[in-house]
Structure 1
Amino acid sequence: MKTGTKNILLLVAVVLLAVLPLLFVKAEFGGADDAAEQLIKTIQPSYEPWFSSLLEPPAETESMLFALQAAIGAGFIGYVIGLFRGKASKSKSQ
């Protein structure tokens, strides 16, 4: 199989893996904090939190910070892999 064909098939597979769950899963995605709060309220309905947040950012901000954290982590991993591959290829050429 040619390299171009393999790359196209891999790209199609990645797109399908990203899109199909969004089409077929009809679930509400919530955070772990919300699930824990609901569980605590079912176990002990009289529970009152000790404190509340001073600043409550909108949901978009939380999503943006999570995506930023993932991007920084991916960048760091890519940098380290590139660094090691560069060192390996440099030592082979000497």
Structure 2
Amino acid sequence: MKKYIQKNQNIFLLLAIIAIVIGVFAYVGESEFGGSDGHAEEYITQANPDYEPWFSSIWEPPGSEIESLLFALQAAIGAGVICYVIGYYKGRRATISK
């Protein structure tokens, strides 16, 4: 019974996180924050007006805060995976050496 409750709790937390992220996308809309990507694009067009990008984005976030949120989320997921792997192998080594 405990495993069933724990599994449902994890699913509920995952759905809550997804709802929060979708809510942020819907609520924020257009924003004013400018990052280094915009400055780089301006500099490139000033330095070489004939420059054509190699590719274009499939989807543009509605604002740069959303873009920053996605970047931070990507960094957090990557750090979580790396820390999990390090912890897994450290724990595995600790149990093998006993």
Instruction: Provide TM-score, normalisation by structure 2.
Output: 0.50
What value does the CA root-mean-square deviation take over the aligned residues?
2.6
| Corresponding position: 1:42 with 2:52 | no
Equivalents in 2 of 1:34, 1:67: separation in Å? 18
AA of the residue aligned to 1:34: G
| Corresponding position: 1:85 with 2:93 | no
| Corresponding position: 1:71 with 2:91 | no
Give the number of the structure with larger relative contact order, counting CA–CA contacts within 8 Å between residues 6 or more apart: 2
How far 1:75 moved relative to its partner?
Answer: 0.6
The 1:56–1:43 alpha-carbon spacing in structure 2 relative to 1, beyond 3 Å, is same
Instruction: Provide TM-score, normalisation by structure 1.
Output: 0.51
Regions of 4+ moved over 3 Å = 47-56
The 1:44–1:81 alpha-carbon spacing in structure 2 relative to 1, beyond 3 Å, is closer
Aligned pairs, how many?
A: 63
Equivalents in 1 of 2:96, 2:66: separation in Å? 45
The percent identity for this pair of structures is: 49
AA of the residue aligned to 1:40: I
AA of the residue aligned to 1:42: Q
AA of the residue aligned to 1:92: S
**Structure 1 segments unaligned to the other structure (5+ residues):** 1-28
AA of the residue aligned to 2:92: K
How far 1:44 moved relative to its partner?
Answer: 3.2
How far 1:35 moved relative to its partner?
Answer: 2.9
